[in-house]
């Protein structure tokens, strides 16, 4: 059973984690040191969200290092690497800017996403491995073709398969994890890449989702939207209220490139769109309002105290969230979320084993 071997591989370099492996997503601008450290201290893997400014990333990593140093958690203190991960958006950052930070802080994991071209990852992986041989490099992709491509060329230490239900940016052409994970796992095995551990993300918000992802063949699970309702996340209170209020994720959220055009020209690589709560800007787009007018109203609204966020779908700014949002109803400490979701997953798997 490859996922058992993968779990062994992953726990060998994430020794403070306990199964099932839960990972908080590197939500750029939302997941800072307080969230990442809380998740790792609870036995998960916390990721710091993608940042463009390397001095900001250094500050976050220094804060995380002192939080870990002050902790009495022996597994965290004994970790040979900084026991968290760092998200990097490969289309924005430059390898030469990122490498010195990774060399200095040696995070357990460097997570790469959204390269302009899939071929670009090879240079990233090589440079990061050379700079910090103890750090592992993971890549998130959204379809089988991309998984095969990066497995063959870049040879990452793990691949996260991001399903179409995911909040935030993702592959425009993607399936949900229920189809994506098994098909990608079979294809990778057939092509001789069955040694690369697979993780799953997209729409997973509780122990049932974790158990399902593990049953599909993933060795661990990445959750973003669930942590938008954590005490440690850096989110505007009105945006968080909108997340808590949203029900029926298939109707409350939508994937669209419009969300990346609200501020001006879309800078994301062609293959990507993003999933946000349905907001007034999107409704206007459906109703035929022109892009320029939508942008004007958006850019006016974000200058306000509420930053363009509102509940009741009335906001103008995007509120990135996945389809699992309807099951996210209250704000909890990130550590409690990790423990609770793991417990639920074990209960679900125990129940299924009796069938």
Ligand X SMILES: Cc1cc2nc3c(=O)[nH]c(=O)nc-3n(C[C@H](O)[C@H](O)[C@H](O)COP(=O)(O)O)c2cc1C
Least distance CB 317 / ligand X (angstroms): 12
Residue whose CB is less far from ligand X, 225 or 280: 225
Is the C-alpha dihedral spanning 224, 227, 232, 233 positive or negative? positive
23 binds ligand X (CB under 6 A): no
Give the C-alpha separation, 221 to 173, whole Å: 21
Least distance CB 346 / ligand X (angstroms): 20
Give the C-alpha separation, 153 to 161, whole Å: 17
320 binds ligand X (CB under 6 A): yes
224 binds ligand X (CB under 6 A): yes
Segment lying near ligand X (by CB under 6 A), choices 20-28, 55-63, 211-219, 278-286: 20-28
CA dihedral 177, 180, 183, 187 (to 10 degrees): -130
Residue whose CB is less far from ligand X, 105 or 113: 113
Query: DSSP assignment, residue 220?
Result: E
Residue whose CB is less far from ligand X, 165 or 284: 165
Query: DSSP assignment, residue 193?
Result: -
Residue whose CB is less far from ligand X, 137 or 204: 204
Residue whose CB is less far from ligand X, 76 or 321: 321
* Other CB atoms within 10 A of residue 2 CB: 17
Segment lying near ligand X (by CB under 6 A), choices 21-29, 32-40, 53-61, 191-199: 21-29
| 316 close to 281: Cβ distance less than 8 angstroms | yes
217 binds ligand X (CB under 6 A): no
User: Collapsing DSSP states into helix, strand and coil, what is residue 233?
Assistant: coil
Per-residue mark of binding to ligand X, 241-270 (x: CB under 6 A): ------------------------------
Per-residue mark of binding to ligand X, 40-79 (x: CB under 6 A): ---------xx-----------------------------
User: For ligand X, which residue of 9, 16, 21, 28 counts as binding (CB under 6 A)?
Assistant: 28
Which runs of consecutive H residues, i.e. helices, occur in the chain?
2-13, 33-41, 54-70, 74-77, 95-105, 120-131, 144-153, 177-190, 207-216, 225-228, 237-245, 249-252, 280-286, 291-301, 334-353
Nearest residue to ligand X on Cβ basis: 224
167 binds ligand X (CB under 6 A): yes
First-to-last CA distance in the chain?
Answer: 20
Looking at residues 101 to 120 of the shown chain, list those that interact with ligand X (rule: CB under 6 A): 113
The string of DSSP codes covering 148-187 is HHHHHHT--SEEEEE-TT-SEEEESS---HHHHHHHHHHH
| 224 close to 166: Cβ distance less than 8 angstroms | yes
Residue whose CB is less far from ligand X, 115 or 294: 115
Q: How, if at all, do strands 82-89 and 136-141 pair?
A: unpaired
Least distance CB 256 / ligand X (angstroms): 15
Segment lying near ligand X (by CB under 6 A), choices 27-35, 191-199, 287-295, 343-351: 27-35
Give the C-alpha separation, 313 to 307, whole Å: 14
Least distance CB 242 / ligand X (angstroms): 12
Number of residues that bind ligand X (CB under 6 A): 28
| 167 close to 322: Cβ distance less than 8 angstroms | yes
140 binds ligand X (CB under 6 A): yes
Segment lying near ligand X (by CB under 6 A), choices 2-10, 14-22, 26-34, 192-200: 26-34
- Contact residues for ligand X, defined by CB under 6 A: 25-28, 30, 49-50, 87, 89, 113, 140, 162, 165-168, 201-204, 222-225, 320-322, 324
């Amino acid at each position: 059973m490859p996922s058992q071997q993968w779990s062994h591989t992953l726990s060998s370099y994430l020794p403070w984690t306990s199964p099932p492996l839960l990972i908080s997503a590197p939500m750029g601008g939302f997941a800072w040191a307080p969230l990442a450290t809380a998740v790792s201290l609870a036995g998960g893997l916390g990721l710091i969200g993608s940042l463009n400014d390397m001095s900001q990333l250094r500050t976050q990593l220094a804060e995380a290092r002192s939080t870990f140093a002050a902790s009495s958690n022996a597994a965290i203190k004994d970790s040979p690497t900084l026991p968290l991960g760092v998200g990097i958006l490969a289309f924005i950052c430059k390898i030469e800017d990122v490498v010195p930070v990774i060399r200095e802080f040696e995070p357990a994991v460097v997570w790469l996403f959204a390269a302009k071209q899939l071929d670009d990852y090879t240079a990233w992986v090589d440079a990061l491995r050379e700079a910090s041989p103890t750090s592992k490099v993971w890549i998130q992709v959204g379809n089988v073709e991309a998984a095969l491509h990066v497995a063959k060329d870049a040879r990452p230490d793990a691949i996260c398969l991001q399903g179409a239900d995911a909040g935030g940016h993702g592959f425009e052409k993607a399936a949900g994890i229920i189809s994506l994970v098994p098909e990608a796992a079979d294809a990778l095995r057939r092509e001789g890449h069955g040694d690369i551990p697979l993780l799953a993300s997209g729409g997973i918000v509780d122990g049932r989702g974790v158990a399902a992802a593990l049953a599909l063949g993933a060795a661990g699970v990445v959750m973003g939207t669930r942590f938008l309702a954590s005490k440690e996340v850096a989110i505007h209170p009105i945006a968080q209220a909108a997340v808590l209020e949203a029900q029926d994720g298939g109707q409350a959220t939508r994937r669209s490139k419009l969300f990346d055009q609200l501020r001006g020209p879309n800078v994301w690589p062609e293959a990507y769109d993003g999933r946000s709560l349905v907001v007034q800007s999107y409704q206007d787009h459906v109703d035929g309002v022109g892009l320029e007018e939508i942008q004007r109203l958006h850019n006016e609204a974000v200058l306000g105290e509420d930053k363009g966020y509102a509940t009741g779908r009335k906001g103008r700014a995007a509120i990135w969230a996945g389809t699992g949002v309807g099951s996210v109803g209250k704000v909890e400490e990130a550590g409690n979320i990790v423990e609770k979701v793991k417990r639920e997953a074990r209960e679900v798997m125990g129940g299924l084993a009796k069938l």
